[in-house]
Amino acid sequence: MRIPSGTLLAAQDLRKAYGSTHALDGVDFSIHPGEIVAVMGPSGSGKSTLLHCLAGIVPPDSGSVTYAGREIAGMSDAGRSALRRSEFGFVFQFGRLVPELTCLENVALPLRLNGVKRKEAEATALEWMAQLEVDHVGGRRPGEVSGGQGQRVAIARALVTRPRVVFADEPTGALDSLNGELVMRLLTEAARSAGAAVVLVTHETRVAAYSDREILVRDGRARDMEHVI
């Protein structure tokens, strides 16, 4: 695959196997700044493995992942960690908030890890929580809020550093349809306001409908649905 001009994040001929199972079998992928791309496919198709390789969490067996012109595999562990801490944001199916911290402290945590002082970090966190309509639960711990509220807190945490790419892995998978729609509306609105690209892994068409473009992953291979007649 020739990387399209203006691409922010791209993968070329990615291959990843777990034993005899080929999770990725020659996958190409690209996303532009501010674009929302849905990666679709059934369970076990390789879509989460693709997300983990794109984010530098899991190294591919072969192929390359390039972010802003830099080869991720060529970075040090510290360099990849810094990338995930500041320029990448993550939203998972079950939020993965720190239960001992309040919701406000959870959202402020990425800023604190980057050296921002507490007062400034929490002020910025509260702004994002207001945008995600959860500023009223800032003093509560994750176990004291609903699933939909917790997921919106997790989105605020993902966006608080103003990352250039947000990786969302089944962000509505643990929610009912009403909360899922609200979470997707607020996620896409907030990401667009921040100018962040979103790699959205899902198996639900109603969730993929919020994207600009869909990629179908099946049996370790990927197909851009925009180019399917």
Q: Does domain 35-45+78-216+223-227 have CATH number 3.40.50.300?
A: yes
Give the pLDDT of residue 227: 47
Give 148-172 pLDDT, tens digit per residue: 999 999 999 999 999 999 999 999 9
Distance CA 27, CA 17 (A): 12
Give 71-96 pLDDT, tens digit per residue: 998 899 898 988 998 999 999 887 78
- Ranges of each domain in the chain: 35-45+78-216+223-227
74-84 burial, b at 16+ Cβ within 10 Å, e below that, comes to eeeeeebeebb
The pLDDT of residue 105 is above 90: yes
Q: According to DSSP H, which parts of the chain are helical? A: 47-54, 77-86, 103-113, 118-131, 147-159, 177-194, 205-208
